[in-house]
Amino acid sequence: MSKEKKKKKGNKQPHVKRLHNYYQRTGFYMFIWESLKKAFWPIVIAVVGLLLFNKYVYNIGDGLQAMTETFSRTGVLITFFISETILGLIPPEIFIGWSKKTADPILNLTLLATLSYFGGLTAYFIGRASLKIDAVRNYLEVKMAKNLKNTSKWGGFLILVGALLPLPFAISCLTAGMIKYPFKNVVFFGLFRFLRFALYAWAIFSALN
């Protein structure tokens, strides 16, 4: 290894170490761990509940098939985009399951992931705009004080968590907008939303076969 390469490597290591120490000191790792623990059991309960419901109550696949026959693709996609923009009101997994039952599952899945991504970016600008309304700003600062504080400290990693984990992505982006976190960073870290949809689609598509 040349001296120049060694020097570059040496410069990176202290930076990584400082970053690690910062996240350790501010409680970022503990926050992620607590978030994972909180998300684990609800996910397990939801999955088991869906399996039992599918087996003993009503076939989910039939319901999703009926959904494709009842509602137009445009209507479903518009509903999904609104949901992904306004705090993720409807679980995206329902729409992922819907895409499996359509004639073009990969195309529709791609559209869903794209709409989810841009829904988060739209939520970011809603967060920015909300700061101009005193009543809304005061309400959000009280109700979301913890999220605001954490996003201020950890920035992109919190966006990453929102993009990958079963937590409303829109909330992370909305909060980022409220603290005026750099938009270019939200655009970059939000791209992991596509990875989440790919992983969840693999699991859901396999279950619905």
Domain boundary assignment for the chain = 44-207
Q: Give residue 203's pLDDT.
A: 84
- Range among 38-47, 84-93, 132-141 with highest mean pLDDT value: 84-93
Confidence of residue 77 (pLDDT cuts 50, 70, 90): very high
Which residue type, as a one-letter code, is found at position 157?
Answer: F
Q: How far apart are CA 150 and CA 169, in angstroms?
A: 15
Q: Give residue 154's pLDDT.
A: 64
With a cut of 80, say whether residue 125 has pLDDT above it. yes
Burial string for 113-122 (b: 16+ CB within 10 Å, else e) reads bebbbebbbb
Do residues 185 and 155 touch, judged by C-beta distance below 8 A?
A: yes
Using a cut of 0.85, tell me whether the model's pTM lies above it. no
With a cut of 90, say whether residue 65 has pLDDT above it. no
With a cut of 80, say whether residue 189 has pLDDT above it. yes
Which residue would you say has higher pLDDT here, 56 or 42?
A: 56
Q: Give residue 133's pLDDT.
A: 78
Across 157-162, average pLDDT? 74
Do residues 190 and 121 touch, judged by C-beta distance below 8 A?
A: yes
Element (H, E) at 138: helix 134-143
With a cut of 80, say whether residue 18 has pLDDT above it. no
User: With 0-12 CB in 10 A as exposed, 13-18 as middle and 19+ as buried, what is 136?
Assistant: middle
Do residues 123 and 85 touch, judged by C-beta distance below 8 A?
A: yes
With a cut of 60, say whether residue 1 has pLDDT above it. no
Which residue would you say has higher pLDDT here, 58 or 198?
A: 198
Rounded percentage of the chain residues whose pLDDT exceeds 70: 61
